[in-house]
């Protein structure tokens, strides 16, 4: 394990970039989004169609028929076969073309690309790059705490993925963008940063600080509280925030929650923002404990789409100014730049 404490060591000169790592696993859907309907979704610039066969197995094919390039998602499922909606070529879950109209012989080149796919913990992961390099052991292994109350969602983001990663690795912005969870101390408290291989940790611990409105509402706490944020980032696109809040000085477990983000590039300038949250509460059908999280996601969306428009409208080569709170974000950029460099060499 390598401890990183000196900003000068970790300054990645890369500004928020639009490079996309292809040789990586990405969260592509929550399990309940994929059914025996054809679901088109672009992942890391690859058009894909997702569906389940009759035994429940999920599959992802290139959403482009090899015949005349019609989107397969505009066809239909005939049993377990995808039938192209233009001239009826039929494909199995591996992408093998099993029949074409008007002849018995099926050309080998009629097969369509299928993508490596793994389903776990209610998450569907795909590998858009070189399938020979797809090692399922590299998928972030973050089970939901099943007895906790949880919810998931998908917020389309019209901004490049690196802006959302910057945002999530530097939570000082909570003070200025999120009145429900921010307080002055978030921006004022220094962070600790640590890289452990492909995983980055960013930690902030606050003692005797103000209780923001959302925590007062969800946990019944009043100021002052102790509050910790421990970020676990799996480059290039998965993120878990471990949160603890408790009455100041309380050494018990406190109130715990996990916030998860799958940050999946769609194109160079659009991103699938998969978010989920779980709390150490039993499910209660009469309460809605996650409305604050949806507001937080929306507040970030508005800010990041504004930033994306500004970057596109007025590009310049002036280096950004970085300060101590940026150490996590800068190291995250470095990790992604390393992956892009490695991919270029593979
Ligand atoms: S385009 Fe798909 S069968 Fe012709
Ligand atoms: Fe935010």
CATH number for the domain that contains residue 99: 2.102.10.10
The residue whose two tokens read 């408290």 is 189
Classify residue 128: in a domain, yes or no: no
Classify residue 133: in a domain, yes or no: no
Considering the domain architecture, whether residues 179 and 107 belong to the same structural domain is answered as no
Q: How many CB atoms lie within 10 A of CB 286?
A: 4
Please report the DSSP string for 72-105 in residue order.
GGGSEEETTEEE-TTT--EE-TT--EEEBTTBSP
Considering the domain architecture, whether residues 235 and 318 belong to the same structural domain is answered as yes
Classify residue 19: in a domain, yes or no: no
Considering the domain architecture, whether residues 68 and 166 belong to the same structural domain is answered as no
**CB-CB contact of 265 with 156 (8 Å):** no
Cα maximum dimension of the chain: 77
- 37 alpha carbon – ligand 1 mean position (Å): 19
Which residue is closest in CA terms to ligand 1's atom 1? 68
Considering the domain architecture, whether residues 91 and 196 belong to the same structural domain is answered as no
Classify residue 123: in a domain, yes or no: no
pLDDT in tens, 273-290: 999 998 887 777 777 667
Considering the domain architecture, whether residues 340 and 241 belong to the same structural domain is answered as yes
CB-based neighbours (< 5 A) of ligand 2, an ion: 300
Considering the domain architecture, whether residues 338 and 285 belong to the same structural domain is answered as yes
Classify residue 219: in a domain, yes or no: yes
pLDDT in tens, 47-86: 999 999 999 999 999 999 999 999 999 999 999 999 999 9
- 34 alpha carbon – ligand 1 mean position (Å): 24
Considering the domain architecture, whether residues 147 and 105 belong to the same structural domain is answered as no
CA distance 15 to 20: 14
- 256 alpha carbon – ligand 2 mean position (Å): 19
Classify residue 124: in a domain, yes or no: no
pLDDT in tens, 87-106: 999 999 999 999 999 999 99
Mutate to test the pocket of ligand 1, among 68, 76, 98 (most ligand atoms within 8 A of CB): 68
Considering the domain architecture, whether residues 106 and 151 belong to the same structural domain is answered as no
Please give the pLDDT value at position 345.
Answer: 87
Cα–Cα nearest to 340, from 24, 89, 84? 24
Lowest mean pLDDT among 142-146, 210-214, 231-235: 142-146
Q: Residue 162: pLDDT above 50?
A: yes
CA distance 227 to 246: 7
Considering the domain architecture, whether residues 94 and 186 belong to the same structural domain is answered as no
Classify residue 323: in a domain, yes or no: yes
Considering the domain architecture, whether residues 82 and 175 belong to the same structural domain is answered as no
CATH number at residue 296: 3.90.380.10
Question: Per the structure block, which two tokens stand in for 74?
Answer: 């505009």
Cα–Cα nearest to 225, from 250, 189, 195? 250
- When computed from its CA atoms, the radius of gyration of the chain, rounded to whole angstroms, is 22
Question: Per the structure block, which two tokens stand in for 177?
Answer: 């963008």
Considering the domain architecture, whether residues 147 and 77 belong to the same structural domain is answered as no
Pocket of ligand 1 (CB under 6 A): 65, 67-68, 70, 84, 86-89
pLDDT band at 16 (very low <50, low <70, confident <90, very high): low
Q: Domain residues for 226?
A: 2-9+140-345
Classify residue 197: in a domain, yes or no: yes
Considering the domain architecture, whether residues 197 and 259 belong to the same structural domain is answered as yes
How many folded domains does the chain comprise?
2
Give pTM, 2 decimals: 0.92
């Amino acid at each position: 394990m390598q401890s990183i404490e000196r900003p000068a060591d970790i300054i990645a000169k890369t500004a928020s970039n639009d490079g996309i790592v292809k040789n990586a696993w990405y969260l592509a859907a929550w399990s309940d989004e994929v059914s025996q309907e054809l679901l088109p979704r672009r992942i890391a610039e690859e058009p894909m169609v997702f569906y389940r066969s009759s035994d429940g197995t999920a599959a992802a094919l290139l959403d482009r028929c090899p015949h005349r390039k019609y989107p397969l998602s505009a066809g239909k499922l005939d049993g377990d076969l995808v039938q192209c909606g233009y001239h009826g070529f039929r494909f199995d879950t591996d992408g093998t073309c099993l029949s074409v109209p008007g002849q018995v012989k099926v050309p080998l080149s009629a097969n369509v690309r299928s993508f490596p796919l793994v389903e776990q913990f209610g998450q569907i992961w795909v590998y858009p790059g070189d399938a020979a390099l797809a090692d399922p052991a590299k998928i972030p292994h973050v089970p939901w705490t099943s007895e906790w109350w949880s919810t998931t969602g998908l917020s389309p983001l019209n901004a490049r993925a690196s802006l959302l990663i910057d945002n999530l690795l530097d939570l000082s912005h909570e003070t200025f963008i999120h009145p429900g969870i921010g307080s002055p101390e978030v921006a004022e408290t220094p962070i600790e940063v640590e890289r452990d291989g492909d995983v980055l940790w960013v930690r902030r611990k606050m003692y005797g600080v103000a209780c923001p409105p959302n925590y007062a509402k969800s946990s019944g706490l009043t100021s002052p509280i102790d509050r910790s944020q421990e970020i676990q980032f799996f480059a290039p696109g998965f993120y878990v925030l471990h949160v603890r809040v408790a009455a100041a000085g309380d050494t018990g477990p406190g109130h715990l929650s996990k916030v998860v983000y799958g940050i999946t590039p769609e194109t160079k300038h659009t991103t699938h923002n998969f978010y989920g949250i779980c709390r150490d509460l039993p499910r209660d059908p009469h309460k809605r404990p996650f409305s604050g999280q949806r507001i937080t996601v929306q507040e970030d969306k508005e800010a990041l789409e504004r930033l994306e428009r500004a970057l596109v409208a007025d590009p310049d080569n002036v280096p950004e100014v970085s300060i101590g709170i940026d150490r996590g974000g800068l190291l995250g950029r470095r990790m992604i730049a390393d992956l892009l460099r490695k991919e270029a060499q593979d």
